[in-house]
Chain A
Amino acid sequence: MIPPKDNPIWEKIVKKKIDYKFSNYILQLHVFHIQSSYAIKQMDIDKAIDELYRICTKYEVLVKNDFQKLLNEQI
């Protein structure tokens, strides 16, 4: 399971407040793209979270282990 879209973890990823490297290529690239776009104000926070959540939902089977680790690290 990936966390719901209102979980603060999404904002932390977009704003690079969490230094976590995803284990699969699509998420590595997508997070890089989202963080870069947000940093240079090409994307606002809501759009960034929407995009990230959309891709993570599509690739849930690939990213669920990453999110389990990530959420455990946050506790």
Chain B
Amino acid sequence: MERKLYTIAQVKQFIAEQKIMVLTGAADVLSELPEGKWIGGTIPYFMDADSGKKTNELIFVDDFSDIAEDIKIIQYDKENIKNIAKDGFDNGFSMLLLPAFTEILTEFALNSFSYDNIFTNPVLGYVTGFDLEKAGTQVAQIFNGTTAQNSNTNGIALHIKLPKTKLAQVEIINIFSQDKNSPSIIFPKDGFEQDSCIINGKEQNLVDYIKDNNIDIKFPLIEEQNGALINKSFMRIDEENKKVIFYSPIFKDREYKFAQKIENYVEKFNFATKEITDVKYSCNCILNYLYGELEGKKVNLTGATTFGEIAYQLLNQTQIYLNIINK
């Protein structure tokens, strides 16, 4: 099935056909769906087959029916999310949806690398969100298709078993790079909120440094994890308390750098993805959609535009994708 937006009627038909799916759309449309082999998350922003668009009526469908030998759908809370990888099959992958601004997301973001078997199979997915124009009246939700019930505190996973001859591979596309002129920044504590830090060996307040040096916080801090560039996006600056709040946690004693500024997001994404084929799943970040002005523009990989991406850990301002390859 083509990865794109479909009408509610079409999705109801797919559910009736027992398709195994991750469904993404506004809460009102997901609430209309019957029970079936699906999980869902609330997001109204998408990169559809023709262009970036916002819709509260259509549903983006990622269908895994053709590759799944078996599935398990499990709902998680902040206590048992640590079992996410252990609950998966010996060979397969786990699609995980977590609602934004929740305790379960904080728990996963801070601790996922310590979960049993986290690197054994891909754990990927996204952070669910809401219509930004309705912030304050809507909350991020997940849907459990087996019961057609929703939650704004729990996460939901679709564990998929692959045939022995297949392997799931998740990769990331980060269009940002570390600025060669950036200072080295090291923080003294783990967490989403930071104030004092060590910048090029000298203790300073991060808010002061950002203001004094006209740092554009549309661009993330970046950590290198053995070649993988991991973004930490700025949510906002709390000037009164001289704190910076991030969309994903900073970790103590690791080195971060400011990103090099970029302009044309579409060109960057299309260049980075020009040789990528046979994508089984992909999603991109709402910040790339907004800052890169992707509405009405086309980038190669389709998918939901999310409040955070999951690929073994919480990611920001990153596109992720899944390939199913032969062993």
Total residue contacts A-B, CB cutoff 8 A: 50
Indicate if B170 sits at the interface (CB-CB under 8 A). yes
Contact A31 B311 (CB under 8 A): no
Q: A26, B169: Cβ atoms under 8 Å?
A: yes
Residue of B119, B122, B170 contacting most chain A CB atoms (<10 Å): B119
Q: How far is the CA of A30 from the CA of B225 in the complex (A)?
A: 9
Known contacts being A55-B120, A61-B325, is A29 close to B169, with CB within 8 Å?
Answer: no
Nearest residue (CB) in B for A27 is B226
- Does B205 have its Cβ within 8 Å of any Cβ on chain A? no
In the complex, the answer to whether A26 meets B122 with C-beta atoms within 8 Å is: yes
With A33-B113, A61-B167: A25-B119 Cβ-Cβ less than 8 Å: no
Is A62 part of the binding interface, using a Cβ–Cβ cutoff of 8 Å? yes
Task: Render A13-29 as a binary contact track against B, CB cut-off 8 A, 1 for contact.
Answer: 00000000111111111
| Contact A22 B226, CB 8 Å, known A29-B313, A58-B120 | yes
Number of B positions contacting A (CB below 8 A)? 19
B172 at the interface (CB under 8 A from A): yes
Residues of chain A within 8 A (CB-CB) of B120 are 55, 58
B179 to chain A, nearest CB (A): 19
Q: Does B171 contact A (CB under 8 A)?
A: yes
Tell which of B119, B226, B227, B327 touches A55, judged by Cβ atoms closer than 8 Å. Answer: B119
B167 near A59: Cβ-Cβ < 8 Å: yes
With A26-B170, A28-B228 known, 13 other A-B pairs at CB within 8 A are: A21-B226, A24-B171, A25-B311, A29-B226, A29-B313, A31-B226, A32-B225, A32-B228, A33-B113, A33-B119, A55-B120, A61-B167, A62-B325
**A residues lining the B interface (CB < 8 Å):** 21-33, 35, 51, 55, 58-59, 61-62
Q: Could you list 7 examples of A-B contacts with CB < 8 Å? A: A21-B227, A24-B169, A25-B171, A26-B119, A30-B119, A35-B226, A61-B167
